[in-house]
Amino acid sequence: GESVGLHLPTLSVQEGDNSIINCAYSNSASDYFIWYKQESGKGPQFIIDIRSNMDKRQGQRVTVLLNKTVKHLSLQIAATQPGDSAVYFCAENPLTGGFKTIFGAGTRLFVKA
């Protein structure tokens, strides 16, 4: 498969456990945040988003938490499955700088069966 990052932080979890992936964002002017999932050989896929006026948002098996005080974002995956194995990116859309999306470096999640 495609290698999207040879030096990425990695997280290894047992199937069925919960996963927490963290991200420190850079721009205090960012008001919209997104998590993407990139499976081997594919493009990044939108998972869940959150606006800066919220501190938590839940989807199906995923929850995003936002702490604006320390500029920290996390993605929680409940009951992690083998199909969750991928690289996960956070992204921020700042209000300044031409609205250019800033992507994090990514975290590789391995799910052990």
Partner 1 sequence: EAQVTQNPRYLITVTGKKLTVTCSQNMNHEYMSWYRQDPGLGLRQIYYSMNVEVTDKGDVPEGYKVSRKEKRNFPLILESPSPNQTSLYFCASRPRMGGDYGYTFGSGTRLTVV
Q: Interface residues with partner 1 (CB under 8 A)?
A: 2-7, 32, 34, 36, 41-46, 49, 51, 89, 91, 93, 95, 98-101, 103-106
By beta-carbon proximity to partner 1, the closer residue of 3 and 113 is 3
- Min CB(11)–partner 1 separation in Å: 17
Residue identified by tokens 């956070």 is 90
By beta-carbon proximity to partner 1, the closer residue of 42 and 56 is 42
By beta-carbon proximity to partner 1, the closer residue of 31 and 71 is 31
By beta-carbon proximity to partner 1, the closer residue of 91 and 109 is 91
- Min CB(3)–partner 1 separation in Å: 6
* Residue 2 burial (CB count, 10 A): 10
Q: Are 8 and 87 in contact (CB under 8 A)?
A: yes
Q: What are the two backbone dihedrals, phi and then psi, of residue 18, each rounded to the nearest 5 degrees?
A: -90, 145
CA angle 58, 52, 88 (to 5 degrees): 55
Q: Which long-range contacts (CB under 8 A, 24 or more apart) does 96-100 make?
A: 96/27, 96/29, 97/27, 97/29
- Min CB(27)–partner 1 separation in Å: 14
- Min CB(39)–partner 1 separation in Å: 11
